[in-house]
A and B are shown apart, each in its own frame.
Chain A
Amino acid sequence: MERSEGDVSAADLPSIIDLAPDEARRAQTESVTASGTKRNADKLLEVRGLKTQFFTADGVIQAVDDVSFDVGYGETLGLVGESGCGKSVTALSIARLVPDPPGRIVAGQIMFDGIDVLKLSNEAMRKLRGKEIGFIFQDPLTSLNPTLTIGYQITEGIREHMRLSTRAARDRVVELLAKVGIPRPADRLKDYPHQFSGGMRQRVMIAIALSCDPKLILADEPTTALDVTIQAQILELIQKLSDEFGTAVLMITHDLGIAAGMCDRVNVMYAGRIVETGTVDTMFESPQMPYAWGLLDSLPRIDDIRGAKLRTIEGLPPLLIAPPDACRFGPRCRYARDICREDEPELTARAGEGHLARCWATEPGGWIS
Chain B
Amino acid sequence: MATSSTVLERRVAKPKQSAGLWSDAWGRLRKNRLAILGLVLVILLLTAGLLGPIIAPWNYQVQDLQAVFANGNRPVPPFSPGHLLGTDSLGRDLLSRLLDGARISVTVAFVVQIVILTIGVPIGALAGWFGGNLDNALMRFTDVIYAFPDLLFIILLSVAFRETAFGQALDGLFLVFVAIGLTSWVTVARLVRGQLLALKETEFVEAARAIGVSDRRIVTRHLLPNGLSPIIVAITLGIPSAILAESTLAFIGVGVQPPRASWGSLIADGEKYVRGDPHLVLFPAVAIALALIGFTFLGDGLRDALDPKLKGKQ
Contact = CB atoms under 8 A, between A and B. Distances in A.
A148 B225 contact: yes
Contacts of B208: 145, 156
Contacts of B71: none
A181 B1 contact: yes
B70 interface: no
Interface of B: 1, 4-6, 8-9, 12, 14-15, 18, 20-21, 202-204, 206-214, 217, 221-222, 225-226, 228
Contact of A143 (B8, B21, B207, B228): B207
A129 B12 contact: no
Contacts of A127: 212
Secondary structure type dominating chain B contacts: helix
A30 interface: no
A270 interface: no
A349 B12 CA distance: 54
Contact of B211 (A157, A187, A240): A157
Contacts of A192: 18, 20
Given A145-B222, A160-B212, A208-B211, A137 B206 contact: yes
Given A192-B18, A236-B1, A240-B1, A183 B212 contact: no
B1 to A, nearest CB: 5
A142 B226 CA distance: 13
Interface in A177-230: 181-184, 187, 191-192, 194-195, 205, 208-209, 211-212
- Give the top 9 A-B pairs by smallest Cβ distance, nearest first: A130-B211, A135-B210, A130-B212, A157-B211, A129-B212, A183-B9, A145-B204, A142-B203, A143-B207
Given A134-B210, A134-B211, 11 more contacts: A97-B206, A129-B212, A137-B210, A145-B208, A147-B226, A156-B213, A157-B211, A161-B212, A183-B6, A192-B20, A195-B15
B207 to A, nearest CB: 4
A143 B225 contact: no
Given A145-B222, A146-B226, A195-B15, A130 B210 contact: yes
A341 interface: no
Interface of A: 95, 97, 126-131, 133-135, 137, 139, 142-148, 156-157, 160-161, 181-184, 187, 191-192, 194-195, 205, 208-209, 211-212, 233, 236-237, 240
Contacts of B12: 183
Given A183-B9, A195-B18, A147 B207 contact: no
A336 to B, nearest CB: 38
A73 B145 CA distance: 58
Contact of A144 (B1, B204, B217): B204
A161 B9 CA distance: 32
17 contacts: A95-B210, A130-B211, A130-B212, A130-B213, A134-B210, A134-B211, A135-B207, A135-B210, A146-B226, A147-B222, A148-B225, A161-B212, A183-B6, A184-B14, A187-B14, A195-B18, A208-B207
Find the residue from B1, B211, B214 having the highest chain A CB count within 10 A: B211
